[in-house]
Amino acid sequence: MAESIEVYYDVVSPYSWLAFEMACRLREAWRISVKLKPFFLGGVMKASGNKPPALVSPTKGMHLPTDIARLAKFYGIPINHNPENFVRVAFSKGTLGAMRFITAVDLCCPEKTEELSRQLWIAFHSQGKDITEDSVISEAARKAGLTDKCIEESLADSRSATTKNRLVSYTQEAIEGGAFGAPWIAVTDRSGKKHMVFGSDRWEIIADLLGKDYPGPLRHLSKL
């Protein structure tokens, strides 16, 4: 049985970005299969009765920028929040449209999912852009190498029942596995056993589950 990692993520989540980049680096370092599974964190929060950490406690909310800045430096990931834009998009407008767009692209050209997700994280978490706007989504898609025709079709497809159902199905899959936040990571070990992991800060444990050595942040394998 080949070892694999499935990463459930939403581009609203900076911690998901850290996990996503590490999973991409480990795919190379560990030569394991990595499956990207775009889901909707809002649906996970609702189903699990959880809340985003900053809304659980103001003290926690005050600590988060410090925690994220340290992790961003450690992993070499350029998180540089525009607080106003972050709050507006994350807590008011939401990333359902962006996640539906990623899902539409994943259904038609899965080879673009990784770079598109990365570009949407960059737009939102590095450049302070409003990824609820079609123009911003299109710009990220263009940077990820999608053609104008493909972008136009994916924007239309992102409103289709097929796309919505697929996003719901990955979200449901994670919820059934016990998800209460993001990143949610399903690790399948050599024997075929699946282990559910929460967080971008569990790589030593994932290495142990897979019988691998933890190689550190692997900044030299960055795709940024």
Ligand X SMILES: N[C@@H](CCC(=O)N[C@@H](CS)C(=O)NCC(=O)O)C(=O)O
Residues engaged in binding ligand X (CB under 6 A): 13-15, 50, 53, 180-182, 199-201
Q: Which is nearer to ligand X, 17 or 30 (CB)?
A: 17
Residue 158 CA to residue 162 CA, distance in Å, equals 9
Residue 195 CA to residue 206 CA, distance in Å, equals 9
Q: How far is the CB of 176 from ligand X (least distance, A)?
A: 17
The closest residue (CB) to ligand X is 181
Q: How far is the CB of 182 from ligand X (least distance, A)?
A: 5
Question: Is the Cβ–Cβ distance between 144 and 118 less than 8 Å?
Answer: yes
Question: Is the Cβ–Cβ distance between 12 and 90 less than 8 Å?
Answer: yes
Q: What is the dihedral of CA 200, 21, 36, 174, to 10 degrees?
A: 10
> How many CB atoms are closer than 10 A to CB 32?
18
Q: How far is the CB of 77 from ligand X (least distance, A)?
A: 12
Q: How far is the CB of 148 from ligand X (least distance, A)?
A: 32
Q: Which is nearer to ligand X, 180 or 222 (CB)?
A: 180
Q: Which is nearer to ligand X, 163 or 200 (CB)?
A: 200
Q: Which is nearer to ligand X, 15 or 39 (CB)?
A: 15
Give catalytic status of residue 158 as yes or no: no
- Tell me which amino acid residue 133 is: E
Pull the structure tokens for residue 132.
């609820």
Residue 179 CA to residue 18 CA, distance in Å, equals 18
Catalytic residue among 13, 16, 154, 200: 13
Angle subtended by helix axes 41-48 and 161-176, to nearest 10: 40
Q: Which is nearer to ligand X, 14 or 217 (CB)?
A: 14
Residue 5 CA to residue 109 CA, distance in Å, equals 20
Question: Is the Cβ–Cβ distance between 180 and 42 less than 8 Å?
Answer: no
Q: How far is the CB of 10 from ligand X (least distance, A)?
A: 8
Residues labelled as active-site residues: 13
